[in-house]
Amino acid sequence: MSSQQPNTLPTVNPADQAPKILLIKLSSLGDVLHNLPIVWDLRKRLPSAQIDWIVEEEYVNLLEPLKTTKTFRGIDRIIPVAFRRWRKNLFSFNTWREFFAMRKLLQDTTYDVVLETQGLLKSALVCTLANKSDQAIVSGLGNATEHSGYEPMARMFYNQSVHVPLRCHAIDRSRWVICSAFDWPLLNRNEEPPLFYPNDFVEQLAPLAIEGLRRQPNGAFVPYVVCFHSTARAAKRWPTEHWVELGKALSNQGYQVLFPWGSPEEMKISALMASQVPGAIVPRAFSIDEAYRLVAHAALTIGVDTGLTHLAAVLGKPTIEIYCDSPRWKTEGYWSSNIVNLGDFRSIPQGNALLQAAQPLLKDGRKQV
């Protein structure tokens, strides 16, 4: 399962049931979400461990539910970093003041295990900043998986490099790293399906006020479908004409269709599509906290391979994930019957496939699509 650097590899003492563990997964939205299950995996086997996580500041809110919930002790400390912001202001006094404050947080605890599941040089460098015990395990990825970012120099900062299959789901990849570090049998996704957020957190999410959402005669809001069409890489987009076709079909059946956006250019595309779909809404920009609420109360979320689509999937809400130019095996939602995955690398699904998949996922009381 792993290769060693150096030859003498430290091991975790089985008698030590309270190791201090640092998780390093800095970004991005989807990657952080798919790393959440290892918190549950660790806590199940090491309930008294201290588990800290260092993450980019814009994704701290993704981790808060595992720190503040009363029903599950998940993360003990969240350590925010701002590498993305700092690199734009390298000569700023505030940049270096914040950097040294972050380093102090990493030095306040002596870690027994450091798990670096990103495989990039910037995340591997964090391993050197952390305060570690003399026999600490520093475990990280030993190779790239297909279609994933990886920087081989990162291996220089581990004393345990874990070689994973070339085709390995993002969740399983992180599980390879932790199982190697603790010398556990590899976790079986069927016997131990991944967990993400506590049920009480999901259940308490209040509806999000959406301007333009119509009400039914009984006063309840018209059920809505969220369509995440935007993505950083153009090749991963589903064709605009397919979105319009799908939106019209859903609108005809009584649903309001929402086309969120993440940039001014994406807002223009949303407006273009909404102009062709009766009753469609282009919502205002929203935060990650609001995104939880948006998808939690949607009749259905449909989206391309992007973080916000994966957010709906990890919440266990009805979700259709569309793959156009990325491999489905890499991030597909396999843990719930509420999730349907369509398309694959360079295999764009057609609109009728989406309509057929939507029917069983839409809530009871709907008009049939």
User: Between vectors from CA 199 to CA 197 and to CA 204, what angle results, nearest 5°?
Assistant: 105
pLDDT confidence of residue 347: 95
**Residues 194, 42: contact at Cβ < 8 Å?**
no
CATH superfamily of 2-201: Glycogen Phosphorylase B; (3.40.50.2000)
Coil vs helix vs strand at 230? coil
Whether the model clears a pTM of 0.85, i.e. scores above it, the answer is yes
DSSP state of 124: H
Contacting residues for 217 by C-beta, under 8 A, at least 6 apart? none
258 DSSP β-pair partners: 226, 281
Domain boundaries, the chain: 2-201, 207-361
Of 3.40.50.2000, 3.40.1790.10, 1.10.3080.10, 1.10.357.10, the CATH number of 207-361 is 3.40.50.2000
pLDDT confidence of residue 8: 39
Identity of residue 343: G
CA 66 to chain centre: 14
Going along the chain, which residue ranges are E strands?
2-4, 20-24, 50-56, 77-81, 111-116, 132-141, 160-162, 224-228, 256-258, 300-304, 319-323, 339-343
pLDDT confidence of residue 11: 54
Closest CA to 225 of 103, 348, 359, 345: 359
CA 75 to chain centre: 16
Residues in the chain: 369
DSSP state of 320: E
pLDDT confidence of residue 4: 37
Series of mean pLDDT values for 10-residue runs along the chain (369 residues): 41 68 97 98 96 97 91 94 94 95 97 97 96 97 94 96 96 97 94 95 93 88 95 92 97 96 96 98 95 96 97 97 96 96 96 95 56
pLDDT confidence of residue 68: 79
Structure tokens at 50: 């201290």
